[in-house]
Structures are given as structure tokens and as C-alpha cells.
Amino acid sequence: MNFRAGLIKALLKEGHQVICIIPQGEASQSLKELGVDVQEVFINATGTSVIGEMRYFYHLFYTLFKTKPDYYLGYTIKPNIYGALISRILKIKSIINITGLGSSFLKNNFLTKIIFSLYRVSLSSAHLIFFQNEEDQEIFYHTRILTTQKTMILPGSGVNLNKFSMDFVPNVLEETVKKNKSKVDFNFLLISRLLVDKGILEFIEAIKILKTEDRKFTAIILGPIEGLNSSSIDRAQLKNWVSQDLVIHHDFTDDVRPYIYNADCVVLPSYREGTPKSLLEAGAMGKPLIATNVPGCRNVIEDGLNGFLCEPKSSQGLAVAMRKVLTMNSEMLKNLGIESQKKITKEYDETIIHQIYLNLIK
């Protein structure tokens, strides 16, 4: 719903039937209300057990065999690899979207080699492969995962400019949000799953550096802990940060807009991204942005124009960028936000992505 609702609506408006394949147990009512056929499958989301992978492959194979779609639209690593391979067997046209390379690509270990091999086999007959930045595309060609396949760069998942805009004002700010805003004049917001690869540790260390300078600000993390993920932040560690008044943590929300509205700057010190949705949404709402100078993030931020880039895995570099915005006057911050809104509106409107899909299917 967060990433694909706009595309689903666009497909339905054109008269297409849409089938959504989702993990078992996930809330499906909101999807059904859009008018789609929902198929639930078992997915071994964060594990790598052979039995779990075989079970997922079987469930996905059976679902695609049963529904016989004209096109399979895949997103994220496992649905991309298994979905493309099954589509090849069942002679279904597959459109694969490489939304990011994931933490396994960062580690460059045996698992990375397995994923490379699986991608090489499964994508060999894909109808079209989308990438969200040129660096990811180059890796797939350089490692010969791809050779002559048709590929294209998409500007991420895009953003709904009607929903995320500088005109947004929440009817009622959540009590926790109002409380946070009343404490100090400046709020940093990080919207992310609590994974090491998202730069959470560097964010905490940067906060500690700035706190020693007696700077007044609040740091907020909005996102869930993923306990089964090997890169996940430990819950006890997070509790310790909160108890030290380093950060305020909000686990989950159906609507990030009140939090973005309340923020003065949105931060994402990730090690690598496809195209980060949180930066697109914050930029569309006119917020200054800070992120690492890595694929995906540097596509969204023009350093010094709508925010600042810093070196990945560097708490010192992140602290420098955060210090810059802390020392800016309100007019300078406003100008950064205006430039963010201009860039996102021009380059990342989700209707651009929808039209590309629709034209391809036509």
C-alpha cells in the first residue's frame, strides 16, 4: 500500500485486472478495498533455510500457475528472483524492479555470490528490468548478471504529490508529536527500519557529538525493529538510547506525514539505497535533507542546494552535516526546503512511473 497503491490504481483505471501476491497474515483489507484480487503466500522473509525457500517457491509457483497473469511485476530480491524464474517456466512476461541491492550486496560474501548466480539465471528472459539508480544497473552489467537484457532507469517508486505536499497540515497532531515539538526549536527525523545498514549507529554517534557541544535539538527515529534480520538493532540497545535522552523512538504509524510536518530536517545515513522513499516524501513536503553520498541517496540530494551529503559510515561527517543545518537561520532552511520540493516535483512524481508501466504494457 505504501509503495504500490498509486500504480495499482493506475492499472485498474486503465481497465486491467490486478492480482496482489502478499505474505500470509498481512493485512489485506485495504488492498481488497482498491478492487484487487489478493493472493496470500508463505514467504521466508528474512531466513535462508532451504526448506523455507522451497516452500516459498512452491507457493509462488502455484499462485502464478493458478492465476495465469499476462505480466508479473516483481519487487525486492526474493520475489524478483523466484518470480522471474517461475515466469520464465510458465511463459509469463515479467517486469522486474530492482528496488535496491540489499545488505547482502554490501557484505560481498558467499551469500552474495549465490544471489548473483540466482539473478543471472532468473533474469535471463525477463521482459524488462528496471533499476532505480545507474550504479545498481552498472553492477549487474559489470558482474555479468546481465548481458544484453533490456533495462531502464526509473526514478524510484515516485511520490504522491497530492498526498505529500508543502500544503499539508495535520488536523490533529499526535500527542507525542506535539510534545516533542514543544521541547526544543529543532527536530531531526530519521524514518527507517532499525537496521545497522541504515546508518542508525552513525546517527546515534553524531547525536552524541552534537550533544557535547550543548546544541539544542531533538532526534526522532520512526520505524520498526526487525528482530529476525541479522542487521537489526538490538531492542535493549534502543531502550538504552531512549533512556539517555539521545533519541525518541516511534515504532509504527499508518501516516508519516505528521512526523515529517513536525520535522525541521530529515536524515538518512544509509549505506546504500535504491531510491529512498522517506527522502522523496520529506522533500515533497519541503524539508531540508541529509543523507550519505551513496547510490540512491545522492540522486535525491544536490549537496548545498536542497540538503547535504556526507560520507557513509562516518558519524563525524554526519555530525558536520547536521551542524550545518542547526546553525542556519530560518530563511536559509526555508530555501533548502523549497529546493527539495522543486526537485521532487520535477523528477519524482509517481505519475511518471505509472505512465512508463502503462506504456510498456500497452
Q: How confident is the model at residue 182 (pLDDT cuts 50, 70, 90)?
A: very low
DSSP line for 196-214: GGGTHHHHHHHHHHHHHTT
Contact 149, 181 (CB under 8 A): no
Q: DSSP alpha helices (H): ranges in 37-76? A: 50-67
> Percent of the chain having pLDDT more than 70?
92
Span 17-76, pLDDT tens digits: 999 999 887 768 888 999 999 999 988 765 667 888 899 999 999 999 999 999 999 998
pLDDT of 52: 87
Q: Closest Cα to residue 156, out of 99, 105, 102, 198? A: 99
**CB atoms inside a 10 Å sphere around CB 55:** 15
Q: Are 201 and 278 in contact (CB under 8 A)?
A: no
Is-contact 100 58, C-beta < 8 A? no
pLDDT at residue 285 tops 50: yes
Query: Tell me, what's the pLDDT at 214?
Result: 86
* CATH annotation of 5-160+350-361: 3.40.50.2000
Domain with CATH 3.40.50.2000 in the chain: 5-160+350-361, 175-347
| DSSP secondary structure, 90-130, as one string | HT-EEEEEE---HHHHHHTSHHHHHHHHHHHHHGGG-SEEE
Question: Any idea which of 17-21, 173-177, 241-245 has the lowest mean pLDDT?
Answer: 173-177
Terminal C-alpha separation, the chain: 24
Residue 178 has pLDDT above 60, yes or no: no
Q: Residue 76: exposed, middle, or buried by beta-carbon count in 10 A (0-12, 13-18, 19+)? A: middle
Are 63 and 38 in contact, with CB atoms under 8 Å apart?
Answer: no
CATH domain 175-347 topology? Rossmann fold (3.40.50)
Over residues 148-163, the pLDDT tens digits come to 779 999 988 899 999 9
What pTM was computed for the model? 0.87
Position 53 scores a pLDDT of 87
